[in-house]
Amino acid sequence: MKRDFICIRDWSVKEIEEIFSLTEKLKKDPLGFFSSLEGKTLALIFEKPSTRTHVSFMVGMYQLGGNALYLGPEQVKLGVREPIKDIARTLSRYVDGIVIRTFSHENVLEMARYASIPVINGLSDLLHPCQALADIFTIREKKGKVRKVKLGFIGDGNNVLHSLLYGCSKLGIDLYIATPKGYEPKEIIFREAKMLAKKSGAEIRMSTSPYTVVKECEFLYTDVWVSMGQEKEKRKRLRDFKGFQLNRKLFSEAGNMPYILHCLPCHRGEEITDEVIEGKNSLVFEQAENRLHVQKAILIKLLS
């Protein structure tokens, strides 16, 4: 039976730990896995442009001995040129797996529903599971564990935060969130995360004060305030997020010099200042590199 990677909620703690264990091996010995996906082909269907997701999946397939095909927005035109269900069924006869990066999460679900091969969520408006797993793996590398590590997320309650909510609550990471009023994560996801946290022992908290988060956390995470497709809201969002910038003043409130995380791309001078992201505690390029290693582990798990 085929398996998809769409939402971290759908994967057990044991399976996630297996991905992390394999990621460690892949990172230490990339040449040792060169024939893992020999003869396999991955299709990348992208409605939204990307640097990290596009390149890391292309390079990852190459390093595992397989091939990758990039199908950009002008080539596929999801749901416009032809229905998603027809694309899913056709590609299932040509390739061994699909990565879809799209605006609507419904597009991901429809692709998975009709494809007979594994589908990986490369980003939707609701979730960004590959990013969140790479983030948590980065924390695990730095601390040697994840359980009861304190992670603070300051900013928009977006797809990255939704996936972090599932990942942290499952794995026992304390997640403290600060968002402006009206930009909280989706209530149903927050509720589900709180339920999952009861089992893992994680503490999930939400406030409107970035200062309370900064004081307590070992890792601080932020993301852009204006994502792709939200350009018309830019003026309002910049006004609403005032006071949530990760800058020297906010950072100085931290008691323990937290590590800095950002999924990139960043808007320097908006959600984060240049000096913070370039500071010695910044892990953003370790995060970016770990996208490659974690996704290779996911590919082996699903395609081999």
Q: Is 128 part of the annotated catalytic residue set?
A: yes
Catalytic residue, chosen from 223, 237, 262, 295, is 223
Q: Is 162 part of the annotated catalytic residue set?
A: no
Catalytic residue, chosen from 52, 105, 262, 291, is 291
Going by C-beta distance under 8 Å and a sequence separation of 6 or more, which residues neighbour residue 287?
Answer: 134, 135, 138, 261, 262, 263, 264
Q: Is 9 part of the annotated catalytic residue set?
A: no
Can you tell me the distance from the alpha carbon of 279 to that of 284, in angstroms, rounded to the nearest whole number?
10
Catalytic residue, chosen from 101, 105, 140, 293, is 101
The single-letter DSSP state of residue 48 is S
Catalytic residue, chosen from 128, 140, 162, 237, is 128
Q: Is 147 part of the annotated catalytic residue set?
A: no
Q: Is 101 part of the annotated catalytic residue set?
A: yes
For residue 295, CA distances in Å to 58, 137, 178, 270 come to 10, 11, 29, 29
Continuous H helices in the chain? 13-28, 52-63, 73-76, 84-91, 105-114, 129-143, 159-171, 187-200, 210-216, 234-240, 248-252, 274-277, 284-303
Catalytic residue, chosen from 4, 130, 131, 245, is 131
Q: Is 235 part of the annotated catalytic residue set?
A: no
Nearest to 153, CA basis, from 188, 205, 226: 205
Catalytic residue, chosen from 7, 130, 217, 263, is 263
Residues serving a catalytic function are: 101, 128, 131, 223, 263, 291
